[in-house]
């Protein structure tokens, strides 16, 4: 099972799909305002704590629609690859 996982991870990288998924995720997070909201939250926490030393930020969960879209892309990639085995 571990070798299958490693094989799929390798194919994900070598096919360029991993990079495409990163771009898709970043685009969707920007479109939803998630990245800007996280940056604003970090700035507020740093100001509130008077510097970064004492800041502990809980990262907001990724919107479900974005998570679902990226997971669907991964699932489709895996299905295509498994069909070709």
**The predicted structure's pLDDT at residue 47:** 87
**The predicted structure's pLDDT at residue 14:** 95
**The predicted structure's pLDDT at residue 60:** 66
Q: Token digits for 52?
A: 């970064």
- How far is CA 29 from its chain centroid? 9
**The predicted structure's pLDDT at residue 65:** 94
DSSP 15-70: TTHHHHHHHHHHHHHHHTTHHHHHHHHHHHHHHHTTSSTT---PPPPPPHHHHHHH
Q: What is the pLDDT of residues 19-34, one digit of tens each?
A: 999 999 999 999 999 9
Q: What is the pLDDT of residues 5-62, one digit of tens each?
A: 898 899 999 999 999 999 999 999 999 999 998 889 888 888 888 887 776 766 668 8
Q: Do 22 and 70 form a contact (C-beta atoms < 8 A)?
A: no
């Amino acid at each position: 099972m571990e070798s299958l996982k490693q094989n799929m991870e390798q194919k994900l990288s070598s096919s360029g799909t991993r990079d495409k998924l990163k771009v898709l995720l970043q685009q969707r997070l920007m479109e939803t305002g998630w990245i800007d909201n996280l940056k604003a939250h970090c700035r507020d926490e740093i100001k509130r704590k008077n510097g970064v030393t004492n800041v502990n930020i809980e990262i907001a969960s990724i919107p479900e629609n974005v998570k679902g879209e990226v997971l669907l892309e991964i699932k489709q990639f895996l299905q295509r690859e498994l069909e070709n085995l």
